[in-house]
Structure 1
Amino acid sequence: MIDFRASVEGLRPDQLDGFFVGWPSPPSPEQHLALLRGSAHAVVAMDGDQVVGFVTVLTDGVLMASIPLLEVLPGHQGRGVGRALVEVAVSLVEELYQVQLCCDDDVRPFYEKLGFQRVDGMVRRL
């Protein structure tokens, strides 16, 4: 059974293996934990003692929030974990005017099913 937590308290780097598949320079598990801790909100999906998915939220706390990262381990994809992570994350900032994110075209239908709309945007990846 998957447990969803809106806290990263007590997480360890060794619980964060297997993420950032295909990234040319993926963050280390220690950096991954630091980015979770540094986010305004972070929600993790736990399968026992292992993190199998996570989502981060950045916000100004007044009008806007952004979801910069959502990842689910390949072996747990297609089971509703990503959907649940986004739903919990959005519920944490539902009083704000807008929640935005950038995504690649292949995952756009996933976000559209969650109520997100396509808009023009720009991104610079370093």
Structure 2
Amino acid sequence: MRYTKNMDEVSEGMIEGFFVGWPKSPSPQKQLELMKNSYRCYVAIDEKTDKVIGFITAISDGVLSAYIPLLEVLPEYQDKGIGSELVKLMLSELDRIYMIDLLCDQQLQNYYDRFQMMKAHGMMVRNYSFQGGK
């Protein structure tokens, strides 16, 4: 397995099976677009299959604030430390940013505790009709 932030190494054909449980998930084309358009993106690639098995994205102004909207690891690769490595890589990449925010469901908060993240309250809007991308 290898980790990279070079999105030139990633093609649409390497992406499949993400956003499990989403009623309307982004197509591989939209997923690649969101990865390439992110401020930073790291991917985990299974070198045996040449498939993306996990990824994390960040959006940022590059000065004071960053937001981590997505961390995804394919179900068959979960509980192998891949998500943790992706989070560590991203936090290291953003280590000069003042505030790094991440919004997650309450049941996932304990997962992020291990990265010294603090629980916080937030507000959000969800336009579910665009869940798969516009």
| Residue equivalent to 1:33 | 32
Rounded Cα–Cα distance in structure 2 between residues aligned with 1:6 and 1:52? 14
Runs ≥4 residues deviating over 6 A: none
Rounded Cα–Cα distance in structure 1 between residues aligned with 2:26 and 2:43? 17
Rounded Cα–Cα distance in structure 1 between residues aligned with 2:6 and 2:103? 24
What is the RMSD of the two structures over their aligned residues, measured on CA atoms? 0.8
| Residue equivalent to 2:74 | 73
Rounded Cα–Cα distance in structure 2 between residues aligned with 1:53 and 1:123? 25
**2:5 is matched by which residue type in structure 1?**
A
**2:107 is matched by which residue type in structure 1?**
D
Count of residues in correspondence between the two structures:
125
| Residue equivalent to 1:96 | 97
Rounded Cα–Cα distance in structure 1 between residues aligned with 2:88 and 2:28? 25
Q: With structure 2 as the length reference, what TM-score do the two structures score?
A: 0.91
Structure 1 gap segments, 5+ residues each: none
| Residue equivalent to 1:64 | 65
| Residue equivalent to 1:50 | 51
Structure 2 gap segments, 5+ residues each: 128-134
Q: With structure 1 as the length reference, what TM-score do the two structures score?
A: 0.96
**2:78 is matched by which residue type in structure 1?**
Q
Amino-acid identity (%): 38
**2:85 is matched by which residue type in structure 1?**
A
Rounded Cα–Cα distance in structure 1 between residues aligned with 2:3 and 2:10? 13
Rounded Cα–Cα distance in structure 2 between residues aligned with 1:4 and 1:115? 22
**2:37 is matched by which residue type in structure 1?**
G
Rounded Cα–Cα distance in structure 1 between residues aligned with 2:81 and 2:125? 30
Rounded Cα–Cα distance in structure 2 between residues aligned with 1:123 and 1:58? 16
| Residue equivalent to 2:83 | 82
